[in-house]
Amino acid sequence: MKPGMEYRFLSRIALISIFFVSHAATAEVVLTEEEQRYLQQKQQIKLCADPDWLPYEGIDENGDFIGIMSDFYSLWSEKIDTPIQLIQTSSWEQSLELAQAGQCDILSSAQDVPSRRAWMDVTNPYIFYPLAIATQPDHEFVVKFEQILERDFVAVEGYAATEMLRERYPEINITTVKTSREGLKMVETGNAYGFIDTVPTINYQMLRWGISHLKISGVLDLHYAMSVGISKSQPQLLGIFNKLITDTSELERQQVLNNWLSIDYRQPEDKRLFWQLFLAVLLVLVVLIYRYRQVHSHNRNLRDLNTQLEQISQHDHLTGLANRYALHQRFNVEIERVSQTQQRFSLIILDVDYFKTINDKFGHDIGDEVIKEFAVLLKSMVRESDLVGRWGGEEFMILCSQTSVYGAFQLAEQIRVGVESHVFTANQKITSSFGLSDYRQGETIGDTIKRADDALYRAKNNGRNQIVMADSD
């Protein structure tokens, strides 16, 4: 096959896939005659959105509606053959004001909260995501929000999260700001303890604005259950959008998610790439045909969507390792295993020695590369049953399943030697320090973490590039 022909052939296969996707996506929803007459008379639906809440929704420099929500509304517009027209605003607060004044027919994503019920109805939820808190890297992991309730928090003005938090915790001290960037900067500069939003939004905004040294310290038990906000002046739209939400298939939901939450990576440039892509596209084609024929025979639900969002919420945005939330979930599994089998598990907390010096000397970009290389090295040296996570900043944690502290010590020593001998991007010798502890039945995971953290502190005070085990009874 001549150069270039293989990619043209592959493109044709991809177009066939797109045909099946498009055919499934544009199936019209069944409306009553009254609903059809209403839409014909209305001609277009006016929508207000949050201009700065990516990856969920935003307005770009060209004034276009973008993000996860925009793809849902493009899909729904096709299903009812009615344009959905964006009303441009400069802030979420302005969007709420226009919606309350009746200048917008719908809000793209709205939470059912008491302050809006006088002028807005909401549809059934079509997307769920938990609230999370971003803090500086040296702050403790938040197991229960009550443990840090006396701290100062920040959230975006007008977001339902603020009202939800104040209703659950009347004594909370939470300040509002205009944008996510402003809130994250307040945390970065120490003017607030934590910024509260969803995990994907926090990760996206930190990457967008180069705020890479904050961490997600915990996921709250409060969730956004997002719906379409319907103006009280347009009650017919409530039934129409509930039908659209019900009619949206699992396949269509996943397509929307993949547009905005997929992970990019580079493949080696060799001939195998064509065949790998060809087989992948062919497989996608077969799956799409099958799903198209089967999707309308299943009950539609949002669980797949929630699972996808949960996966995104469990990985560190810089290294791809497990984040604190994922480690916390694994702690619960291991503690339950201990109660059933009496087999202990151990924790290793380690960090890059003198990392601040690397940042100061080479800059944050090289510092980030060192962190990513360090993560790859750790991942390559642990067992499949172990979990490696980024604990915050230059600090990492390894959860060693069904392993005594002495077994964890052997692993830590292998890693210590491997790090010391590895040639990093910074082109200078890098070492690491380690603190170890094992879980004792009946104690809290916070106690286990603290003993490992105290051991790490002693390792650093004793000269670094060494391993210290927590005192055992």
Active site residues: 394
Distances (CA, A) of 114 to 15, 119, 159, 164: 47, 10, 13, 10
d(CA 110, CA 423): 50
- Chain centroid, CA 344 distance in Å: 31
Strand-pair category, 152-156 with 173-177: parallel
- Chain centroid, CA 41 distance in Å: 41
- Residue 466 in contact with residue 434, Cβ under 8 Å? yes
Start-to-end C-alpha separation, the chain? 70
From its phi and psi, is residue 4 left (phi > 0), alpha (psi between -120 and 50) or beta? left
- Residue 174 in contact with residue 162, Cβ under 8 Å? yes
Distances (CA, A) of 341 to 105, 131, 345, 384, 399: 58, 34, 11, 20, 17
- Please state the three-class secondary structure of 369-428 as a single string: HHHHHHHHHHHHHCCCCCEEEEEECCEEEEEECCCCHHHHHHHHHHHHHHHHHCCCCCCC
Query: Which residues have C-beta within 8 Å of that of residue 240, sequence separation ≥ 6?
Result: 31, 35, 38, 39, 80
